[in-house]
Structure 1
């Protein structure tokens, strides 16, 4: 039986869960696939096979190559045959159990099929591996013979405290940058370009807020995405509910989330390697071992490992390629012991600040999440480091009042955290902003229309006139309806935050004219917007025809089987139902299917037969 026919039959018999797993593991595109034969051809495509082989380790590749070699010599081998061949080639004992484990993984990837404890690699797999030496990739002998290099070099006997201190500094800097990233995308999502990457204006905005260079924005965004703190929705990066919760955690707990996500995504074999050598350098020795372990990995593996080693340095898991104390604990014992160790190294959080006469707020250390979040609501961050600074302004006080604060609540909070009391200029600013707050009111129209959904009103005609000529607000499409009132086609929240960002003393009001609190909450949904998963849609489409015994579906399935056999020139045993009800087997090499009839060469009788498809009860490989 041809590989296409065999695999198509196998795919059809698989349950949906296994089929979905195979499609995702092999990264098969659903486009252009109409039936199980098309799907089988996609799995057997040489490019797809090579992409999968690139991601397999040396031992699995050696097993696959041995299966192909033995099959050509003696037929499909058993696990003991494969182990014997690899042991002879390598000069070391290879157990049948380890071979079976590797074959199991390859079978899940649909590279191998098994029957009665014997294994056969598909022709595309055998051909691809056979062609490797011509492209500088290892043959079976090379795969089996090569010994693993010394994976990692021991860390020199240096002061471990220096490594831990450097790692903690980097971890704190990363946490600070990601905190600012989340705060900024919560305020204003960052647009993702169709070709990939954040739009340049948003990248510049994020880089400024995070105090990092432009190139580092994508790196920190990837770290945050891996930890589930941000998500892409409707073409923009937004904070998630998990990200909002992360902002309320302590510095040590924030690191644990980032470090845990890094550890969970680490490939199992690399995780085991590093866990066994938690006090070794990660430099050239690690890269050399990875190149040996994944001999066809190429650029894909370089990029993958490069990203993990880069992020390990970024998060303080390593420092100058040497694992830190928390990093060693993470690799050996998991995230909880590592979190305790890193928390002890990070700067202690504080709850009190210095209020300055120039309206700035200076924190002598990292603030607790509770104080930091509250302070951000009524002041703008100026710098973020070990000692952070904030600045209170009229617009920041307006923003706080829009969220429900009052002059009294602001002064009470600042008085409770200040080490220097409340300076007179700050007291005056808060009182003045409070008195002016609400001079501009925004509300929703009672009878909204497409061209008018919200309104702005103010008793100050001059202020209304200023808003109308403000170029930063021109996109809101204002229409003046009276000396003190303006309408907009945009909803209340859009108009309100536009005016707030433009630093007008704006307040939102309800239908009764009472001021209501607004908070700018822009979180990505836990589940992406409703849509059809392409893999699920493909499986549903493939299943729509019914089961093979259904008459119409069985006829179509028979034709595709015969087409595959004709294409591969595969001899078949064709079982035909005779007029008297008996079954007769013919050994045919099919040549064509047309007009409801099968034509094929019967080599035993040395004649060409023509059989009606309606009489064919079944087909199988020639005996």
Structure 2
């Protein structure tokens, strides 16, 4: 329901004066859905809806709520100094009042004009109902003591915690590397109702060697770090994932942990930051419930998500902050990464190449070497000591990515503790000889064609059910598909054919694997940008364009709510005069209103009205 006082007028004017950046931040913080919002009055009404107000109040900590309550208990707008005096009289700290006022004004639950602050009546009404809802009133907010202090972490416990946290951090970084690698081969489909499709969920769980219930959590961590993104309904790696895979263990963890810290809401960061050396768990939850009286399940869930991911990232272990975790909260990801790396198992840079075409790493292989080895061999076992296997198809895959017989041989020679066994040498040479037997080009602008010097290979492609989705048909000495070159090329590559891409002149070209072009979060940003544009178009700062429309909406709100306004009118001699009027109707370009002070009815041309504002 729209507000029945002058709050909507004051708030609409305040919202209209915000910059686009400030407006965007507000719309995000208040989670405004803009489908039915056409102008700033609609937006003000949405902000003053009781459900929206309660949601915003749930985001405020106890100290800010005390300031808001003290402000609301005043008779009309008051200054920041008067607000601080009222807060001090309640026994609370007045030093933080300025920050609180800036915060609540930014959330549009307090209006500010001429450096005086007022709580809209709709907000005051909502606060007055708190005791009936089982929430604290103003006196209880100020008097209820905080829960007992959290238990500090002992030195012995810290050593155990660090060992466990390093294990978790290493496992999560490794699992996300597997996730990216698997998504490079085949993206995962996102369901319309949310969540990854079950077949893809099982596939990702198997590749990461984790329970299926953990896939969504690891996917969220990777998405938060910008390593994967949802594009056209499919989860795909981003360009940043390539750099991440080639980074050091410390750089990998720093990006994941840094994204966790960066996305940590300020309120939750404050909670965790002050408890970086204490046990979390149930006592932390008790403190959250006290600090955010109206936060309820929503705040508990927000804290739970970040504390859950803190466990996976090794920021905590069994609800106890690790040494790297405390460093992260205090000094940031770079400082924390240097601490975490010292806890990681020692990396190796050389492996054993065996006659059965397997490769065994005696310890965690340095990430840059692991990332390249994965292009040449398939991962068979992932642990502190990993194993890989080279095959004809894996060599084909490497060559599709730009490797040659010479570069593969050189790389394996550099990392091998045992040289290159003869069976592996034969395999590399044989794969190199056959590679390029299948060539994919573009015809007719966007369709793909396939040629080969081996007609038997073309006949095999035609009957292979594994690639039937390409819809291949014979066209003379070639096969053609309705799909483009990149899709056909990578489909054949994943099907383990010796395929290469070529241009119109027959020269070999390298194709990059498809990557996400944008993140799903951009959809929300686009929606916000569209709403801001709609608000600006409906309320331009140019009075010649929208001044009349703005005036009409102000008067309409005042008429419906029976509000008294200060109406500034331009007189014949060029001067202005202020009238305290209660608008009754607008018709024929004229305002009819009751002048309470003079106890007469006035009729004014709309063209002579300079401005209107809530009555003072």
Using structure 2 for the length normalisation, give the TM-score. 0.91
Shift of 1:468: 0.6
Assess if the C-alpha contact under 8 Å between 2:105 and 2:111 holds in 1: yes
Distance of aligned partners of 1:583 and 1:273 in 2 relative to their CA distance in 1, 3 Å threshold: closer
Shift of 1:611: 4.1
Q: 1:403-452 CA deviation, whole Å, 9 max, x = no partner?
A: 3333343233223322233333323322332333233222223xx167xx
Assess if the C-alpha contact under 8 Å between 2:9 and 2:614 holds in 1: no
Distance of aligned partners of 1:575 and 1:286 in 2 relative to their CA distance in 1, 3 Å threshold: closer
Mapping for residues 30-429 of structure 1, pairs under 5 Å: 30-71=34-75, 75-89=76-90, 92=91, 94-95=93-94, 97-156=95-154, 158-429=156-427
Is 1:462 the counterpart of 2:456? The answer is: yes
Q: 1:444 aligns with which of 442, 445, 450?
A: 442
Q: 1:502 aligns with which of 481, 495, 499?
A: 495
- 577-586 or 591-600: which moved more? 577-586
Shift of 1:220: 0.7
Mapping for residues 466-481 of structure 1, pairs under 5 Å: 466-481=460-475
Assess if the C-alpha contact under 8 Å between 1:197 and 1:218 holds in 2: yes
Aligned to 2:535: 542
Q: Secondary structure at the match of 2:226?
A: coil
Distance 1:85 1:553 in 2: 41
Assess if the C-alpha contact under 8 Å between 2:357 and 2:390 holds in 1: yes
Shift of 1:116: 4.7
Distance 2:515 2:30 in 1: 35
Distance of aligned partners of 1:604 and 1:429 in 2 relative to their CA distance in 1, 3 Å threshold: closer
Distance 1:166 1:532 in 2: 38
Q: 1:322-357 CA deviation, whole Å, 9 max, x = no partner?
A: 122222222333333321221111111111111223
Aligned to 1:7: 11
Distance of aligned partners of 1:420 and 1:47 in 2 relative to their CA distance in 1, 3 Å threshold: same
Q: Secondary structure at the match of 2:132?
A: helix
For the aligned residue pairs, the C-alpha RMSD in angstroms reads 2.8
Shift of 1:572: 3.2
Q: Secondary structure at the match of 2:582?
A: strand
- 169-178 or 519-528: which moved more? 519-528
Q: 1:475-523 CA deviation, whole Å, 9 max, x = no partner?
A: 21212123x4322222222222222222222233344444444443525
Distance of aligned partners of 1:603 and 1:185 in 2 relative to their CA distance in 1, 3 Å threshold: same
Assess if the C-alpha contact under 8 Å between 2:440 and 2:502 holds in 1: yes
Instruction: Flag structure 2 segments of 5+ consecutive residues without an equivalent.
Output: none
Q: 1:29-61 CA deviation, whole Å, 9 max, x = no partner?
A: 222222222122122222211111111111111
- 520-529 or 272-281: which moved more? 520-529
Assess if the C-alpha contact under 8 Å between 2:378 and 2:390 holds in 1: yes
Assess if the C-alpha contact under 8 Å between 1:187 and 1:522 holds in 2: no
Distance of aligned partners of 1:176 and 1:52 in 2 relative to their CA distance in 1, 3 Å threshold: same
- 239-248 or 601-610: which moved more? 601-610
Distance of aligned partners of 1:562 and 1:508 in 2 relative to their CA distance in 1, 3 Å threshold: closer
Distance of aligned partners of 1:473 and 1:66 in 2 relative to their CA distance in 1, 3 Å threshold: same
Distance of aligned partners of 1:610 and 1:261 in 2 relative to their CA distance in 1, 3 Å threshold: same
Q: 1:554 aligns with which of 540, 544, 547?
A: 547
Q: 1:91-114 CA deviation, whole Å, 9 max, x = no partner?
A: x4532x322221121112121123
Distance 2:551 2:611 in 1: 8
Shift of 1:539: 3.1
Shift of 1:301: 0.9
Distance 2:475 2:314 in 1: 59
Distance of aligned partners of 1:543 and 1:409 in 2 relative to their CA distance in 1, 3 Å threshold: closer
The alignment covers a number of residue pairs equal to 612
Shift of 1:601: 3.5
Assess if the C-alpha contact under 8 Å between 2:10 and 2:614 holds in 1: no
Q: 1:5-28 CA deviation, whole Å, 9 max, x = no partner?
A: 122222223333333332232222
Distance of aligned partners of 1:463 and 1:575 in 2 relative to their CA distance in 1, 3 Å threshold: closer
Distance 2:603 2:227 in 1: 66
Assess if the C-alpha contact under 8 Å between 2:229 and 2:520 holds in 1: no
Q: Secondary structure at the match of 1:534?
A: helix
Shift of 1:269: 4.7
Using structure 1 for the length normalisation, give the TM-score. 0.90
Distance 1:441 1:547 in 2: 58
Distance 1:530 1:69 in 2: 41
Distance 1:587 1:275 in 2: 52
Instruction: Flag structure 1 segments of 5+ consecutive residues without an equivalent.
Output: none
Is 1:567 the counterpart of 2:568? The answer is: no
- 562-571 or 399-408: which moved more? 399-408
Is 1:597 the counterpart of 2:590? The answer is: yes
Q: 1:155-174 CA deviation, whole Å, 9 max, x = no partner?
A: 25635332221111111100
Assess if the C-alpha contact under 8 Å between 1:229 and 1:243 holds in 2: yes
Distance of aligned partners of 1:58 and 1:585 in 2 relative to their CA distance in 1, 3 Å threshold: closer
Shift of 1:583: 6.1
